[in-house]
Amino acid sequence: MNRRDFLQYSSLIPLAGMMPEAFAAGAGHRPDQIVVMVELKGGNDGLNTLIPFRDDHYHRARPSLRVKNGIPLKNNMAMNPYLKQLLPLWKEGHMAWIQGVGYSNPSRSHFHSIDVWETASTRNNEIRGWLSRVLPPRHNSVNGIVLGDNNLGPMTGSSAVAMEDPKTFLRQTKYLNKKHFKASNPSLAHMLNVQNQINTAASQLGRVSRGRRSPVRFPNSRFGRKLSLVTQMIINGMDTPVYKVSLEGFDTHAGQVDQHNNLMNHLGGGLKAFTDAMKKAGLWDNVMVITYSEFGRRVAQNNSGGTDHGAAAPHFALGGRVHGGMYGKQPSLDPRKLHDGDLIHTVDFREVYATLAQRWWRRPNPWGNAHKPIPFV
């Protein structure tokens, strides 16, 4: 690649992680422990997702927003009825709910709070995603793929690529020089490693696009199509251990009931199809799905039939090796025990990440004793 070509395709560099050195272990082989991260973008209303349906404070705080027909699970908690397609996973013991997930002194800013979640740091000067502290960088291969978003999020600083979809990515990379380069100059070596990572991802995606497709029918929605693409990558042997997809629309300040129910239906339907596809491919034990969102919503509904930015919220994990059940403690909804109308978290979100690091990937826990793993896997 000459200088002109490099500048022409420099727009691809943000698609790759900015780690200068790399580690080749596992390259070329589908990992045995894959994580699919599902971002519920906008701040999911956790109280209407995992519902404390016997709590009088819940019903008083939400006279028109309360969910009356939730699916009872355990400990007086119920699942949103529009997630009913995931109920078999709960009954099989392959669905874990982690209650009250958040962090101290929470921010109600979308931008700041999602930065906290994706860097695992409350400091404003942290630019690396939390996954860069867990997974070793790789040479000529990528640790993560983000679909439908240009933001690497938790994979920033790791070897990763972001794309709208594989077809668009392959079109963008079609004219890159396909040779792999080495250089002794550290700065040039870094830039060439970026190109090498992009080339490797393009080569694997080209093979995947010609590979077999799952017989499972996915919902014809943006979220369903992204999960279908992730499925095709996994079953055709991409060597990537992390995928990230988003479901947008959770900033439900007004008219929440129908909007949130529709989102729950998309979430449940898409993940049910993904689960079925992994089971049919014999890969269910090799995959974990984990949700996250920048914050939950306020306990009380607002005057517009919605909820405003809050703090703690539940999240769930799915997978063949997930130990199903309820983890953490449901925060109190007693108005006297709220912080400025918000739930007080009972589980620090870094404990979830520590679980993925230590119990799933068998990697060192970057947060040590400060944030210990949760035994949901």
The pLDDT assigned to 323 comes to: 98
DSSP 320-332: TT---EEES-PPP
Give kind and range of the element (H or E) at residue 319.
Answer: strand 313-319
Q: What does the domain layout of the chain look like in residue ranges?
A: 31-135+210-370
The two three-digit tokens of residue 76, written as one number? 């007086």
For the chain, what is the mean pLDDT?
A: 89
pLDDT-based confidence at 140, cuts 50/70/90?
A: low
Its pTM stands at: 0.89
Assigned CATH for 31-135+210-370: 3.40.720
Tell which phi-psi region holds residue 306, choosing left (phi > 0), alpha (psi between -120 and 50) or beta: beta
pLDDT digits (tens, 9 = 90+) for 195-228: 667 777 887 888 888 889 999 999 999 999 999 9
Q: Alpha-carbon distance 62 to 306, whole Å?
A: 9
Give which of 194, 191, 376 is closest to 291, Cα–Cα: 376
Neighbours of 358 (CB within 10 A): 18
Give kind and range of the element (H or E) at residue 37.
Answer: strand 34-41
Neighbours of 342 (CB within 10 A): 21
State the sign of the Cα–Cα–Cα–Cα dihedral 351, 148, 276, 296. positive
Between 27 and 313, whose confidence is greater? 313
Q: Alpha-carbon distance 230 to 203, whole Å?
A: 16
pLDDT-based confidence at 179, cuts 50/70/90?
A: low
